[in-house]
Structure formats: C-alpha cells, structure tokens
Amino acid sequence: MSGTDLPPELVLRVDGLGKEYRLYASPRQRLKALLTGRALHHSHWALRGVSFELRRGQCVGVIGDNGAGKSSLLKLLAGTLQPSAGRIDRVGRVTAILELGAGFHPEFTGRENLYFAGSMIGIGREEMARLEPEIVAFSGLGDAMARPVKTYSSGMTVRLAFALVTAVQPDVLIIDEALAVGDQRFQKKCVERIMAFKANGCSILFCSHSPYHIRTLCDVALWLEGGRVREMGPTEPVLGAYEMHTRLAQAAEQAAEHGPDGAGAGAALPPEMVVSTEELPARAAAPAEGRRSDAAGTASIVSVTLANLGEGDPPLLESRDLVATIVVRGQGDERPNVGFMIEQSRGVGITSLATHEEGAAPRQRADGLWESVLTFPDLPLHSGEYVVSAFLFDASGLVVYEQWYQFLHFRFVTPTLMPGLVRLPHHWS
C-alpha cells in the first residue's frame, strides 16, 4: 500500500485495520460454501479497528496476552498477510524478523537460498552478489554455504536467515520474539545490528513477552487486547498498566483454582502482591555452588554466595546486612554486567538491581573472572522466607547470557513484630 500521502516524519500509518479468519466445521463445509456462495463459516476477528502511527526513529513495543493479535498485526505490517478491513500506508523498505528460515528450500544450498529467499524480500541478483560476502561473514557459516540447508542445524538456519533479512538497512524493522538467536556470540551480534539500525534512524516494531527488553529498547508501547488497541503511549505507564492487568488475571485464576475459601498456596496474597516473574527471560535454576560452562569464550555465572548464612532449611541469615558476592566469566575481553533479584518465597518481587542500570561494573580479578559484591545494609525486610536470583548480561545490558533463577532460599528474622514485607524509608512529623 502506498505511503506517498504520509507526512515526512511518518514511516507507517495504520487505519482501522482488521483481520478476519473464517472457520469451517470441516473441509466439506468450506467446499460447499465455495460452490453455493452461502456463508457457512464462523468468523474470528484476530484484529479489529486497529489504528496507530509509527514515526521515524521510533521504537514501539507490542505487548498483550496470548491470542491478543500481536503476531497477526506484525504479519499484516510485513505484508505476509492481507487485511480484511482497514488500510496500511508505509514508506521505504520494510524488513521483518518473524519465522526465521521458514522461506528456505531444504534441497537448495545455503548460497542458493540466499538468492531464492532474497528475491522474496526484494533483493535482486546483482544486489545479492554484492551483499553475499558480508552475509556469509556475519552468519559465520563459511564452507557450509555449499551444503543443502536440510543438513543444517536449527541454529545454522537461523543464523543464515537473520544475516539475510538484516543485510540491508531498512526503514522499518519488525521483530517478533526474535531479538536473540543462536549462541552467545551470534546473539550479541544480532542485538548490536538491531541497535545500529535504531541509531541510524530505523523505526522498529518489537513484539516480546519480556518486559525487560520492552523497557530497555522501546520509547512507546502498544497494548493489544482481544484484537483491539487497549492503550498506546510512553512505555512505562502502558507497561505498568499491562503488568497490573496481568497480576489481577493471575490472582483471579488462583482464586478460581483454589475455590471460594481461598485454600492453597498464595491464596492469602492480595492481587497487588501477586506479581509476574517474567521480568527477565527464564531458565532452569542452578544450584548455589554454580553451574559452569567451560566452552571457550562462553560467558557464564561461576558462583553466587551469601555471607553469614547459618544452619536450617532454609538457612538463617545471621546478620543485619545481606552481602552477595557474584563471580562471572565474561565473553572474551568484554566487561560483563550482573543483576540480582530478591523475592518473597511465594514469588512476590521485592527488588531487582543491575550494574548497568546504576553506573556500576564488576571488577576483574587476577584470574580473569569478574566479581561484584552487593551489600544491603541493615536489610529493611520483615521476618520471613526469601529467595534470590542472579543474572549475567553483556556490556550493553541487552543480552542476557545466563541466569540462576530462584536458586537460593534463606530466612531472615528482624526484631520488629510489625506486619508487612519491608520497612520503607520514612520519617514522622
């Protein structure tokens, strides 16, 4: 659809966009409808009445529950689906990172697929011949380019696909849950390329279930609910409203699961205390003594220790201060960043911190590892059980290399008998 009517500050305008899927009870019903012209289907509108604008250099995070219409919206904007209603006006080159590698022919070699798939996204043979060396170098596939794609691992396919679709600076970049692909090194290259696009004025539509990445990357958030725009505006207030919606939905599900008497774990928690633990990407928990990766150049958490832990299950913190020492291995010569999170034992979030958010950095030890010591003086928590998590980021803070999620529980006893979770800074007047 033409974008010639758009003002110069806009690259995309969506007006009254809708997408209908016609559902038939059986293939026979579909055929009967074609032959008779009768409406024998049920309509499902994945999107209805969606309108918004995308400015040059703007990064919009698309959020919403499963089934809200996020993927349908991105496919419509990328041109892989046709709308049932409304209008899309866009200018310039639009590149979509959706189902990476889905357009490759398994019998073709990697090099043949470059030209085949490249033609599908508007890259002609002459332009592809010019771009090919850089694409191959970025993918790191080398001699594997002469092999059929059917012999590739899934990681190799994704690397080639990402290198292809990002070979040319687009005016609009559409990303659907594909910020990080491949191993650590390639994941970092992907993020760096996307950030370079953004720095050069590329407009980005980024769909993700990670509030952390939405907050870090996007200046505007678009919240879809039931195929309609629920809210759009500056990231933090929209994301905050969506997270509250999520917490209330989780609380309602828990109430329904445990019955009207509220029996069961977490039933005593009010809705505002039931929080999502999706702030950072989840991985299996590691033991306190560490889960190491000895692959050369692989970034990893080496150890996380809490000082002054006594006996018991969970162990008792025998100090007024909480002191955590986090030791990590960086990737090559890169200075990494670390994060730390404390939650109440039932998963109620208390605080999360990261070095790159606070102008801090781990120090490098003589053995080449990196160490951070985080101290919470006079820990302002009331008596109870708590759990900690640790995170390892790249230098930018965008790539999450590894996490030890809820890996260590501890007990804390405070002299105060007042109810609550924390002692907030305060004064009486």
Name 317's Cβ contacts closer than 8 Å, sequence gap at least 6. Answer: 306, 308, 309, 310, 379, 410, 411, 412
Averaged pLDDT, 202-210: 88
Averaged pLDDT, 198-222: 88
| Model confidence at 266: pLDDT above 60 | no
- Please state the separation of Cα 260 from the chain's center in Å: 35
Residue type, 70: K
Which pLDDT does position 305 carry in this prediction? 94
Which pLDDT does position 260 carry in this prediction? 55
CA dihedral 224, 17, 83, 7 (to 10 degrees): -120
β-strands 172-176, 203-207 pairing: parallel
Cite the DSSP H helix spans in 121-231. 125-139, 154-165, 184-199, 211-217
Distance CA 189, CA 203 (A): 19
Averaged pLDDT, 276-284: 36
| 10-229 against 283-412: fold identical | no
Distance CA 181, CA 278 (A): 19
DSSP string, 11-60: EEEEEEEEEEEEE-SSHHHHHHHHHH-----EEEEEEEEEEEEEETT-EE
Distance CA 235, CA 368 (A): 38
* Cβ(195)–Cβ(188) below 8 Å: no
Q: Whose CA is closest to 155, among 114, 129, 184?
A: 184
Which pLDDT does position 155 carry in this prediction? 82
Which pLDDT does position 183 carry in this prediction? 76
Which pLDDT does position 102 carry in this prediction? 65
Distance CA 227, CA 198 (A): 28
Mean model confidence pLDDT for the chain: 83
Which pLDDT does position 3 carry in this prediction? 54
Distance CA 45, CA 34 (A): 20
Which pLDDT does position 112 carry in this prediction? 93
Which pLDDT does position 180 carry in this prediction? 57
Averaged pLDDT, 367-374: 95
β-strands 10-23, 220-225 pairing: unpaired
| Model confidence at 91: pLDDT above 80 | yes
The predicted-structure confidence for 24-41, as pLDDT tens digits, reads as follows: 777 777 777 777 777 766
Which pLDDT does position 273 carry in this prediction? 30
| Model confidence at 302: pLDDT above 60 | yes
| Model confidence at 398: pLDDT above 90 | no
- Greater confidence (286 vs 56) lies with 56
Q: Is the pTM of this model over 0.75?
A: no
| Model confidence at 275: pLDDT above 80 | no
Q: Whose CA is closest to 165, among 229, 218, 99, 225?
A: 99
DSSP string, 255-296: HHHHTTTT-STTTTS-GGG---S-SS-------TT-----ST
The predicted-structure confidence for 92-110, as pLDDT tens digits, reads as follows: 888 888 776 667 888 999 9
Q: Which CATH architecture group holds 10-229? A: 3-Layer(aba) Sandwich (3.40)
Phi, psi (degrees; rounded to nearest 5) at 61? -95, 125
Averaged pLDDT, 257-265: 54
* Cβ(47)–Cβ(73) below 8 Å: yes
The predicted-structure confidence for 151-198, as pLDDT tens digits, reads as follows: 998 888 888 988 998 888 889 988 887 655 667 888 888 888 888 888
Q: What is 283-412's CATH number?
A: 2.70.50.60
| Model confidence at 282: pLDDT above 70 | no
**Hey, where are the domains in the chain?**
10-229, 283-412
